[in-house]
Each structure stands twice: as structure tokens, then as C-alpha cells.
Amino acid sequence: METSRREVAAMIALGGAGIALSPASVEAANVETNLVHHVFFWLKRPGSQPDRERLLAGLRTLRGISAIQRLEIGVPAATENRDVVDASYDVSELMFFRSVEDHKTYQDHPLHRAFVKSCEHLWARVVVYDMAIVPG
Amino acid sequence: METSRREVAAMIALGGAGIALSPASVEAANVETNLVHHVFFWLKRPGSQPDRERLLAGLRTLRGISAIQRLEIGVPAATENRDVVDASYDVSELMFFRSVEDHKTYQDHPLHRAFVKSCEHLWARVVVYDMAIVPG
């Protein structure tokens, strides 16, 4: 069989797209993850749009820390209002780490310390949940 | 250029491996995710190993719900004990959804309802955080 460059490119693209979209590959890519670090911030000025933007901008600087395997930044979602749902926070950060050691590296990282120093005046309360992923 | 089947296979494999391992592809694979649903459970019998196992087993049945893009199940991690860290919960579930609609599909799913019915006697308290991921 003779295969053209275009065919090769298409097959690679197809293979690539297939891999990029399959849940199996996401699992493979995250196979080493075993720690989730989820932080919720309540602003001193609850609901303040400028303060929220400042905090979100500060959190984005954490993307420079390579120990973080995945970082998602968010705000309360528009899901159903139920008694068990706490939607009172203003901003949240969700991180995945490969290990407790990597999490410690992040905590001590100059970029993290700079973030806390430049943004801590914005928040009234912080709650952190650290979760060890149970396999299976 | 003439390309052999073997060369094509190698190029696809190479492309595939590169995609599966690069953080950029993880982002790409999750490009549609915009909702994080994080639930914390406190057992009626705090620290009870059998009740914890029952709850973990119940949570694993949720893997059958296709609306869930990613599901991680966990327990408090062995990170540093700090004032801001709440490590008092017993079990936690973390889910990613493509949309608020998919989250609603999950809430109403027979497997989710069956899980609640079979496990709710185990927990004393549940706290849910729903987070809309902010791009950038």
C-alpha cells in the first residue's frame, strides 16, 4: 500500500483527535494524580466584582507552578439551589497533584507565597479540602 | 514520498503518545468541561471503617452514569494540619460535567437515586460545592 502525505496527516489527526477525546486517555494522562486540593474563598466585600477579578487574576499566576498537574479556577455554578449546596463562596481553586510532596512544593513555591501576599487582603475566610484519591 | 504501513503506524503511535502525555492535550480532552461538583460526607459513625467502605462502594456505582465526565472518590489527605484545612469529613466525591444540564441528568439518574436510597442512612451531613470553571 502506498500512502500519501495527506493520508498520513489525516490518519495522525484522526488518531490524535480520537485520543484527545477518549476518557481512557484522560485517565492515562492523569494516572499519577492522587491528591486533590480544593480551596474556597469568601471575599471581605462579598459579591464585589472588582475584588473577584483581582482574586481570579492572582490565582491565574499559580499556573506558573509546575508541581500543579491541573488547575481549575471557578465561581459558584448555576445549579439548583438545594439545602446541601453551599454557594456562598466567591471564588474557588481546584488543583490536582501527583503527591503530598508536590502539594508541599506548591505551598512553599515563591509564586504561591507572592499570590497570598498580594491577595490575602481580599478574603475574609478560606476553607481548604485536601482529598486523597482512592483507586477503583 | 512513499510511506509504509509500519511508518504510518509509528507516526500515529508517536502522535498518540505525545497527545496522551502532554498537559496541553489534557486541557484539550477536557475542553468541554465547565462544571465541577464536589461533595463531602460526614458519617453518622465518624471514622467507621465499614461504613466508609460501604459509602465508597456506593459511590463507585455512579461510574455507570455517562453524563459524568470524570469521577474521583477520596478521603482526607495526609497534608499539613492547618487552621484553614477541613479534614473532618469521612468521604468525598469529585465530578466533572460538561454542563449544568449534564449535572441535572446525573442528579435525576436512576443509579444516583439508587445510591442515595441505599447509602443515605450512613451519613449525618453532606456539603456540596458546585463550581463553574472560569476560562483563562
ipTM of the complex: 0.77
Question: How many angstroms separate the CA atoms of A74 and B95, rounded?
Answer: 14
Q: pTM score, two decimals?
A: 0.78
Q: Enter the DSSP assignment of B134.
A: P
Angle at A104 (CA atoms; ends A103, A110), nearest 5 degrees: 105
- State whether A35 and B79 contact (CB < 8 Å): yes
Q: Which residues contact A16 (CB under 8 A, 6 or more apart)?
A: B15, B16, B19
* The three grid cell numbers given for residue A51, joined into one nine-digit string: 475584588
**Beta carbons of B5 and A2 less than 8 Å apart:** no
At B47-77, the pLDDT tens digits run 899 999 999 999 999 999 999 999 999 999 9
Please name the residue of chain A whose CA is at the shortest distance from the CA of residue B69. Answer: A23
B104 vs B100: CA distance, rounded Å: 6
CA distance A84 to chain B (A): 5
Please write the tens of the pLDDT for every residue from A5-20.
Answer: 544 443 343 343 333 3
User: Do B79 and A130 lie within an 8 Å CB cutoff?
Assistant: yes
| Set of cell numbers at residue A20 | 484527545
**Residue of A10, A31, A18 whose CA lies nearest to A96:** A31
Q: What stretches of B4-122 adopt beta strand conformation (E)?
A: 35-43, 70-76, 91-97
The residue of chain A with its CA nearest to that of B66 is: A23
